[in-house]
Structure 1
Amino acid sequence: MPHVRPFRFGIITDGAPNREEWITRAREAEDLGYSILLQPDHYTNEFFPLASLMAAADATKTLRIGTLVYNNDLRHPVLLAKEVAALDMLSGGRFELGIGAGWNRPEYDQVGVPFERAGLRIERLEEALQILKQSFSDETVNFTGKHYIVTDLNVTPKPIQRPHPPIVMGGGGKKFLSLAAREANVIGLHIKVNDNGTVDATENIEDTLTEKVGWIREAAGERFSSIELNILISGFALAQSQQEAAEQYIRERKLTDATVEQVLANPYVMLGTTEQMVERIQRWRERLGVSYLVIRAQYMRAFAPVVAQLAGK
């Protein structure tokens, strides 16, 4: 019988107006049963991850911290390895390294970083992962690739979690998910974003998740059973009527071409009662192996009853 991984839940947030509110948010997440507080990595964020995640770790006892996700194109992998190892060491081994190839073209344009084709960005990330893993090890880093060269470098400090903090990668395309299957400990099942920022509406159905899990299973081989699968919930409403909640969701987002049925089928949107959500999440684990869900911080309290029923089970 296949191993059933316990459920865990995280919140993602890009900052807070002040220190007191940030600390309160982290402590409340811990008290409500969330296992991890996550931050994205964009220039438009209120906070960048390094300082704010360390503050959250200092203010809590067991809450894990992580990025969802660092943009590989914004930092040299050696510098990132030093930041990550320090965060892991100073937090007592509570850090999870989410990293991606970058996807938000306007952000690249704002700071003058070339936004190259997806294949090249993924190729660069693949090299960066090798440097990161070498940096976390006890060996001297020597690497020569197409995009990076590192020579005779002893990278310190070292992380507490060995061989390295959990590596989290999320994506929607086969090439990226296949890389994640070979390199990551946690894989997020996301929609595929095109280079022009558009998303194919056919991505927003559960059948695409089945296909993506298949790609991961094929590329991971024997290590598939050790991989934790994740979904990021971007839309949420606690409601007695799923129909009414879906109609409101369409109105608020001005989705003129969307139907109620399409919204309710979207795996990245969670609408309905606590019981309906619990049933859906349990079905995802049974059907897809998904056991780790992340929800946006503004929904943290409303989603807490779901966490209370499922976390750790």
Structure 2
Amino acid sequence: MKLGLHYWSFTTPPEPGLITPTLARTAQIADETGFAAFTVMDHYFQMDAVARAEEPMLEAYTTLGYVAAKTERMALGVLVTGVMYRYPGLLAKIVTTLDVLSNGRARLGIGASWYEREQSGLGVPVVPVGERFERLEETLQICLQMWSEDNGPFEGRHYRLTETLCVPAPIRRPRPPIMIGGSGEKKTLLLVARYADSCNLFGGDTDELRHKLGVLRSHCEAEGRDYDSIEKTVVMRVSPLDEPDAFLATAEEYAALGATELQVTPDRHPVEFAEQVGERLLPKLADIG
């Protein structure tokens, strides 16, 4: 079982001048101790469902560019990119840039954006949910074309590109892997079956996760896709340090369902969190799955 560190908050420590060294040290420790991936959110305001919107937040891909320079082996991605925040051709170029500068470690995590306060506040168009999913599918198609030998035009309902030129090409071959986040059964998991290399689901009740994966399997069968070729990743809700035994037991249950990567979020000082998880839990997770 692999482990990813999801760096979702820049509030600890509270001094703004410590954001950069804390981020750097946390990422370096995660890289050195064996975390498989390092991810950040694609938000500009902190999520007001979990904290104050006014808390510090950094732009995702700029942050990952900095982390790339401080690390050597971890995969780097956004969990997950909001489809409304960047034009698709530019998004493909941004992810390619991260991939080149990190020597092939970028992955595209993407989903339908949802945080309307943030979007309205910063002037991002707020469109109906159905349109967001249409744009998400076109974005996936555009990224795949940008990362292929086809440099020609793309004509969609929402996006029209006269050229899909992307030079240099990504280091990762055949392209950066695509992760789609979300558990919607009718649209999100269908897009996973059509386009993605991995899905990302929220952990919780094992029966619920089993059901979601069953839905994904059905979509794969309908799309002629090999279900086993899709990596299953899960955001954990159990604290790995406060409840280590429960965390490991849940990891074993998820592994039995086919999950191969878990994401954990710091619930204390990020450097302390990375150190303790790396020392106490990563060796045990290596034996699971």
TM bucket by the smaller chain? 0.7 to 0.9
Asked if 1 retains the 8 angstrom alpha-carbon contact of 2:206 and 2:254, the reply is no
Q: Give distance in 2, aligned partners of 1:219 and 1:225.
A: 13
Distance 2:254 2:19 in 1: 37
Q: For residues 36 and 153 of structure 1, do their structure 2 counterparts lie closer, same or farther at Cα, with a shift above 3 Å needed?
A: closer
Match of 1:188 among 195, 200, 206: 200
Other structure's SS at 2:226 match? helix
Q: Percent identity?
A: 33
Equivalent residue number for residue 161 of structure 1: 172
> For each residue in 1:39-70, what CA deviation from the matched residue of structure 2 results, as whole angstroms up to 9, or x when unmatched?
11111252212222122122122122111011
Q: What residue identity is the alignment partner of 2:104?
A: G
Residue 233 of structure 1 pairs with residue 203 of structure 2: no
Q: Distance in 2 between matches of 1:179 and 1:50?
A: 23
| CA distance 1:306–1:15, shift in 2 (3 Å) | same
The match for 1:260 is none
Q: Name the CA distance, whole Å, in 2 between partners of 1:92 and 1:74.
A: 25
Summarize the alignment of residues 59-74 of structure 1 with structure 2, pairs less than 5 Å apart: 59-74=70-85
- CA shift at 1:117, angstroms? 2.6
1:50–1:114 Cα change, 3 Å: closer
The structure-2 alpha-carbon separation of the partners of 1:106 and 1:279, relative to structure 1 and needing over 3 Å to count, comes to same
Distance (Å, rounded) in 1 between the aligned partners of 2:178 and 2:258 = 18
Change (3 A) 1:65 1:153: closer
Distance 1:278 1:205, change over 3 A: closer
- Find out whether 1:8 has 2:2 as its counterpart: yes
Q: TM-score, normalised by structure 1?
A: 0.77
In structure 1, what is the Cα distance between the partners aligned to 2:287 and 2:249? Answer: 16
Aligned match of 2:67: 56
2:233–2:261 contact (8 Å) kept in structure 1: yes
2:181 counterpart of 1:170:
yes
How far apart are 1:90 and its partner, in Å? 1.1
- Name the SS of the counterpart of 1:280 in structure 2: helix
Structure 2 counterpart of 1:179, from 173, 186, 191: 191
Structure 2 equivalent of residue 293 of structure 1: 262
Pairing 1:225-264 to 2, within 5 Å after superposition: 225-236=228-239, 238-239=241-242
**How far does residue 14 in structure 1 lie from its aligned partner after superposition?**
3.9
Contact persistence 1:38–1:65 (CA under 8 A): yes
Partner of 1:79: helix, strand, or coil?
helix
CA RMSD in angstroms, aligned pairs only: 2.0
Distance 2:246 2:19 in 1: 36
In the other structure, the counterpart of 1:303 is: 277
Mapped pair 1:276 → 2:246: yes
User: Match for residue 32 of structure 2?
Assistant: 31
| Runs ≥4 residues deviating over 6 A | none
Check the 8 A contact 2:180/2:199 in 1, yes or no.
yes
Structure 2 unaligned runs (5+)?
Answer: 11-17, 47-56, 268-272
CA separation in 2, counterparts of 1:312 and 1:89?
32
